[in-house]
Structure 1
Amino acid sequence: MPNKGSMVGLEIFFKFSRAMFLVAIFLMGVSKLDAQTTFEVDYVPPETSVNDTLYLTGSFNNWNPSDKNYAFKRQADGTYKLSNKQFLNSWISYKITRGSWETVEVQKDGQPLKVRKLSFNQIGPQTETLQVAGWTDKLNTAAEKKWLTIEVVDIPLNTPPNTSLYICGNFNGWVPGDERYKLKPVGNGNYEIVIPVYDERLEYKFTRGNWSTVEGNSYGRPRPNRIIELSEVNPNQVVEDTISYWEDQSYGIFNPYTLLLVLTALQGFFLIFIINSNQNNNKWANQALSVLIFVISFTLIARVVIYDRVIYTNYPKLSLLTDLVFFLYGPTLLIYIKRLLHHAKKAIWDYWPHYIPFLLQCIIYVSFFFKPTHTFIEQNLFQSMDSPPYSVYEVIVVLALVFNVWYWFRIRGIIRNYFKNIEHTYSTDQNIRYLNAILIILGICLVLWTVIILVDVYGTFTEQPVNTLTNFLIDGIWIVFSVVVFFLGYFAIKQPQIFRMAEQEEEEAPEAEKPQMESEELEELKQALHKIMTEDQVYLNPELSLPDLADRMNSNVHTLSRTINSGFNKNFRDFVNHYRIEDFIERAQDEKYKNQTFLAIALAVGFNSKSSFNRSFKKVTNKSPREYFNDLEQASS
C-alpha cells in the first residue's frame, strides 16, 4: 500500500496534471470558437461585367473555382455577398474567381495575389469585407514575366495511381490546386510544366491538389520551399526535379521518432506511480521528481500531437505547450537535487521566485493565443529572426537557453560539492552517480539548443535555407531529452534504493565558529565510539551514516564529526571502513568462512560494492586483498 508520503506526492502530481489539462482545453478553445462567416466584396475592377458571377474558392472546397455553393450574390448597390458560411477548420485560405482559374483575382499590376487567409477566433458570426484589385484575364499582359520549364523525373513509389500533380509557388500566389499548373505526363513516368516567373527568385512546391498532399521529407516532415535563382539558370534549360516523399503517404504521426516520444511519455507516467509507491521513500525529493517527470512526459505528448499536420493546422497553438519546459525544467530539477541531496523540506511553492520567468512567459503567450490562427502558423517557432513578429519568440528562446545554462551550472556545482563531501557523511558509496549522467544528457541538449540558435542566425543573415537542418536538430533535442526518463526508469528498476535515500547531515558550521572540544571530552567520545563500533558492530550496516551513528550515541552530527576528524584523524567513511577491513581480515582467516569469496565476506562486513571494498582495503593496508593474504601465507610458511 502506498504510504502517506506517496499519497501526498500523487496528490501534487494530479493537481499539476489537472492544471495542464485545463491549459490544453483553453488553447484548443481559443483556436476555434465559431466559423460562421459572411463575405462581402465592396469593390471590383470597373471592367467587371454585371453578368459575371463571383466565386469563393479555397482549402474548404478543394480549390474548385466555380463551386455553386460558394457563389456570391450581386446586391442592388453593386456589392457582392456570400452569407453565413460554416467552415469545419479553424482557418481557411482562399481566393476570388469569376468561374475559372483564368479569371482569378490578381494584384492591380497583374502580379499574382498571394492566397488570402482567414481565422475564426471570435465568438459569434463575423463579416469579412474584401476588395478585388484586378482579374487575370483583364490584366495578364500588364505584368512582365519569363517562362521556365520544370520536369519531374521521379516520384515516390507510393504515389496513388492516376493522381494529378500540381505545382504552386510565388508565381500563382501559392494555390495548391490551380488547374492552370497541373503537370502533364510526358512519358517514361516523367511530368512537365511550363510556369511564369515574375521575380528573380522562384519559390515553389509540388502537391497532389491541396496542402494535405504536399511533398515532404522523410517521416512526413515538411520540406523547405524549392528555390531557383533565375540568374543561375539558362532560359532554355529544363529544370529537373525529384519528389522523394508525400507528407500524407509517409509515416505521419506514427513513425519511429514519435513512437519513441510516446513510449517515453508513457514510461514517465508509469514511473511517477512507481516512485510514489515505494515504502519509506524520500517523499520530499520524489514529489519534486514526480513534477519533473510529468513536465517532461507532458511536453513529449504535446510534441507528438503537433507532429500531425492535420492537428497542427487546426490547433497550431497546442505547440505552445511544448514550451512549458523552457522555464519549468531548470527550477524543478534544482528543487529535486536539493531535496535529494540535502533533504530541503520547503514546499515547491516556497521556491516561487525561481518560477517568475515561467509566469512572465505565460503572460506573454496569452497574446499569442489570440492571434489569428493563420498568422500564428506563419509566425511559427524557430523561423527567421528578421521578421518582427518572430522577435518576441526568439528573445524568449535565447533567454530560456541562458536561463537553463545557468541552472545547469548551479546544479552541477551542488552535485560536485555533494560528492566532494560525501565521505564525511556516508560510510559507503551512494547510488546517485546517475545524476552526473543526467547532467551530461542535459548538457548535450543545451549544446544542440545553442547550435539551433546559431544556425537560425546564420540563415537570417545569409538568406540560406536552414529549415531542414533546424528541424533535424530540434528533433535531436527531443530524442536526447527523452533519454532522461528512460534513464530514471532504468535506475528505478535496477536500483530502487535511490528513491529511498537516508537523510544527510545538515551543513556544518565553518571551523572558526565551532567551539573547541576539551581533551577530556574528546577522549571520552573516542572511547564511546570505539566501544559502539567493536561491541555493537554498527559498521555492519551498509547504509550507516553519520546522522545514524549520532542518534545511536545520543549525540549530534557536528560533535561526532569533530571527534572522528580530530580524535582519529579520519573522515567518517575511512573511520567506519577501518573497522570493516579489520573484521574482514579476521573473517577471511577464520575456517568457517573458508568457502566464501572475498566479495561475500566484504558484503557481510558492511561494504556495498566490490569497488568500494577494494579501494578501502588498499587505503588501510597499502595492498590489494590478494596481495595482503599472499604475503601472510609466505610469512607464516
Structure 2
Amino acid sequence: MSLGKEILFFFGALGAFNGFILSLYFLFFTRKKYLSNLFLGALLFALSTRIAVTVFVYFNNNLHKTYLQIGLSAGLLIGPLLYLTLKSGIQNTIPVKWKSHLAIWILAVLIIGFVFPYQNYPVLWNDYFVAFIFLQWFTYIFISGFEIRLLLEKIIQNYQNTLPSERWFGTIFFGIALVFISYFLGFIRVPFVSCITGALAFTFILYLIILVLLHRTKTDDLFLLNIQKDKKLNEEEALILSQKLEKVMNEKALYRNPNLSLKDLSQEINIPSHQLSQFLNNNLGKNFTSFVNEFRINNACEIITSNDKLTLESVGYDVGFNSKSTFFAAFKKHTGTTPLNYQIQALQP
C-alpha cells in the first residue's frame, strides 16, 4: 500500500471509529435523553458501519462478502434515520406510524439479507439492490429537506440570525446530503471520484460536529428546534398571528375537522408547527387541543340555542368532536356546565 493510500485509509478508518464512539455518546451518555439524540446516535451508527465497510473493502478486495452485505444494508437505514432525527428535533415526538415505519425497514433488511445473502446473489446486490438503496436514500433526503424547508431557507438567506439548534440540524442535513453525493458520484463512476470520497466526506462532517460540541460549554440548546420554551412574541406580532388564526379558523371552519392537527393548522397560516405551538403556549396560555376546542364549543353553543331538534351528541360530532364523552368533557371545561343544562337554560322563556 502506497503512502497516499495509507493516509486515505487512516483518515477513513479514523472517521468510522470516531463515528461509532460519537453514536454511543448520543445513544447512551447525553445528559438529557432527547428523542432527536437517540435517532442521531442510530444514524451515526448506520453511517459509521457503511463507512467502515467502504474503507476496508476499498483497500482489501478479498474481504468476506458478509461484510459487504452489512455495509450495504446499513445504507438502507440512513435515509429513514435522517428523517426521524430532523422530525423529532422539530416536534420532540414521532408518530407511532413512523416508529413502525422504521421497524419495517429494519425487518426488510433482515429478511432480504437472510433470503438473498450477498455471497450467493452478488449480481442481484450489485446491479439492483445498490441502485435501490441510492434511490431510497435520495428520496429520504428530499422528504427531509421538504420537512425543514423553512429552516433551510432561513440558513441560506440569513445565517447570522439563525439559532444554534437551526445551524445544528442544518449541518446534519447538509452533511448527510454531502456524503450521499460523494457516494453517488463514485457509484456512477465520475472521473477522479470513488467510494472512498464518501468516507472522507463523512470524516469531515463528523469532525465538524465534534468541533461544534467541544466549542459549546452548553449544548442543550442544540438538540431541539423549539427549546426556547419561555420565548414570547411581542404584542404586535402576537396580535397579527392571533387575528390570522381567528380568521382562518372561522372562515374555513377548520375546527370541524376531527382530525385537525397542529401541522395542518400551521400550514394554513404558513409558519412552522413548533412556532405555532410556542405561540399558543406562551402567548395564549393554552395548548393546541384547548385552542381548537374553544372554537368547537362556541359553535356548539350557537347550534344549541338556535336548534332544539338536534341531539346533543350530533351537535358534538357536527362541530368536530369524535366522541360524545370528549364533547361533554370539553363543553363543561369551557362553559362550567353540561350541554344539557346549557340547552335547558337557553330554551327557557
TM-score range, shorter chain: 0.5 to 0.7
Q: What amino acid does structure 2 have at the position aligned with 1:261?
A: G
What is the CA–CA distance in structure 2 between the aligned matches of 1:296 and 1:321, rounded to whole Å?
Answer: 11
> In 2, are the aligned partners of 1:327 and 1:355 still within 8 Å (CA)?
no
Pick from 127, 148, 153: which aligns with 1:394? 127
1:363 alignment counterpart = 111
**Could you report, residue by residue, the CA deviation over 1:318-349 in whole angstroms, capped at 9, with x for unpaired residues?**
122211232100000100101101222446x8
Distance 1:451 1:414, change over 3 A: same
Secondary structure of the residue aligned to 1:369 is coil
Secondary structure of the residue aligned to 1:514 is helix
**Could you report, residue by residue, the CA deviation over 1:148-192 in whole angstroms, capped at 9, with x for unpaired residues?**
xxxxxxxxxxxxxxxxxxxxxxxxxxxxxxxxxxxxxxxxxxxxx
Pick from 196, 206, 227: which aligns with 1:475? 196
Higher RCO, 1 vs 2 (CA within 8 Å, ≥6 residues apart): 2
Pick from 159, 170, 181: which aligns with 1:447? 181
2:169 alignment counterpart = 435
Distance 1:482 1:358, change over 3 A: farther
Distance 1:343 1:419, change over 3 A: farther
What is the CA–CA distance in structure 2 between the aligned matches of 1:360 and 1:558, rounded to whole Å?
Answer: 37
What is the CA–CA distance in structure 2 between the aligned matches of 1:260 and 1:401, rounded to whole Å?
Answer: 24
**1:556 paired to 2:286:** yes
Deviation at 1:307, TM superposition (A): 4.6
Q: How does 1:84-103 map to 2 (within 5 A)?
A: none
**Could you report, residue by residue, the CA deviation over 1:63-95 in whole angstroms, capped at 9, with x for unpaired residues?**
xxxxxxxxxxxxxxxxxxxxxxxxxxxxxxxxx
What is the CA–CA distance in structure 1 between the aligned matches of 2:111 and 2:51, rounded to whole Å?
Answer: 23
Q: What amino acid does structure 2 have at the position aligned with 1:410?
A: I
Secondary structure of the residue aligned to 2:194 is helix
> In 2, are the aligned partners of 1:343 and 1:503 still within 8 Å (CA)?
no
Pick from 498, 517, 529: which aligns with 2:222? 498
1:335 alignment counterpart = 84
What is the CA–CA distance in structure 2 between the aligned matches of 1:301 and 1:394, rounded to whole Å?
Answer: 22
Deviation at 1:351, TM superposition (A): 2.5
Deviation at 1:546, TM superposition (A): 7.6
> In 1, are the aligned partners of 2:16 and 2:49 still within 8 Å (CA)?
yes
1:285 alignment counterpart = 36
Distance 1:511 1:321, change over 3 A: farther
> In 1, are the aligned partners of 2:50 and 2:75 still within 8 Å (CA)?
no
Q: TM-score under structure 2 normalisation?
A: 0.56
1:147 alignment counterpart = none
Unaligned runs of 5+ in 1: 1-219, 221-249, 380-389, 423-427, 457-468, 517-544, 562-637
Distance 1:548 1:397, change over 3 A: closer
What is the CA–CA distance in structure 1 between the aligned matches of 2:288 and 2:18, rounded to whole Å?
Answer: 42
Q: What amino acid does structure 1 have at the position aligned with 2:222?
A: I
1:413 alignment counterpart = 146
What is the CA–CA distance in structure 2 between the aligned matches of 1:455 and 1:269, rounded to whole Å?
Answer: 28
Q: What amino acid does structure 2 have at the position aligned with 1:478?
A: A
Deviation at 1:478, TM superposition (A): 1.9
Q: What amino acid does structure 1 have at the position aligned with 2:8?
A: Y
**1:296 paired to 2:47:** yes
Deviation at 1:512, TM superposition (A): 5.8
**Could you report, residue by residue, the CA deviation over 1:382-432 in whole angstroms, capped at 9, with x for unpaired residues?**
xxxxxxxx255311122222212111111111112346799xxxxx84212
**1:353 paired to 2:101:** yes
Report the structure number with the largest CA radius of gyration. Answer: 1
What is the CA–CA distance in structure 2 between the aligned matches of 1:455 and 1:296, rounded to whole Å?
Answer: 21
Distance 1:352 1:257, change over 3 A: farther
> In 1, are the aligned partners of 2:54 and 2:196 still within 8 Å (CA)?
no
Q: How does 1:124-163 map to 2 (within 5 A)?
A: none
Q: What amino acid does structure 2 have at the position aligned with 1:473?
A: S
Pick from 56, 59, 66: which aligns with 1:317? 66
Distance 1:362 1:515, change over 3 A: same
1:514 alignment counterpart = 249
Secondary structure of the residue aligned to 1:296 is helix
Distance 1:344 1:394, change over 3 A: same
What is the CA–CA distance in structure 2 between the aligned matches of 1:346 and 1:302, rounded to whole Å?
Answer: 33
Deviation at 1:515, TM superposition (A): 4.8
Secondary structure of the residue aligned to 1:360 is helix
Q: What amino acid does structure 2 have at the position aligned with 1:262?
A: A
Q: What amino acid does structure 1 have at the position aligned with 2:198?
A: I
Q: TM-score under structure 1 normalisation?
A: 0.33
* Identity level (%): 16
Q: What amino acid does structure 1 have at the position aligned with 2:181?
A: V
Unaligned runs of 5+ in 2: 156-160, 230-241, 252-274, 292-349
Q: How does 1:214-229 map to 2 (within 5 A)?
A: 220=1
* Richer in helix (by share): 2
Deviation at 1:306, TM superposition (A): 3.8
Pick from 205, 208, 213: which aligns with 1:487? 208
What is the CA–CA distance in structure 2 between the aligned matches of 1:392 and 1:268, rounded to whole Å?
Answer: 26
What is the CA–CA distance in structure 2 between the aligned matches of 1:504 and 1:515, rounded to whole Å?
Answer: 30
> In 2, are the aligned partners of 1:328 and 1:355 still within 8 Å (CA)?
no
What is the CA–CA distance in structure 2 between the aligned matches of 1:273 and 1:392, rounded to whole Å?
Answer: 30
Q: What amino acid does structure 1 have at the position aligned with 2:197?
A: G
Deviation at 1:273, TM superposition (A): 4.7
Distance 1:317 1:491, change over 3 A: same
RMSD: 4.2
**1:268 paired to 2:16:** no
> In 1, are the aligned partners of 2:89 and 2:224 still within 8 Å (CA)?
no
Secondary structure of the residue aligned to 1:313 is coil
**Could you report, residue by residue, the CA deviation over 1:499-535 in whole angstroms, capped at 9, with x for unpaired residues?**
3654489xx997665259xxxxxxxxxxxxxxxxxxx
Pick from 129, 137, 144: which aligns with 1:404? 137
Deviation at 1:284, TM superposition (A): 1.0
> In 1, are the aligned partners of 2:77 and 2:106 still within 8 Å (CA)?
yes
> In 1, are the aligned partners of 2:226 and 2:278 still within 8 Å (CA)?
no
Q: What amino acid does structure 2 have at the position aligned with 1:474?
A: C
Q: Alignment length, in residue pairs? A: 246
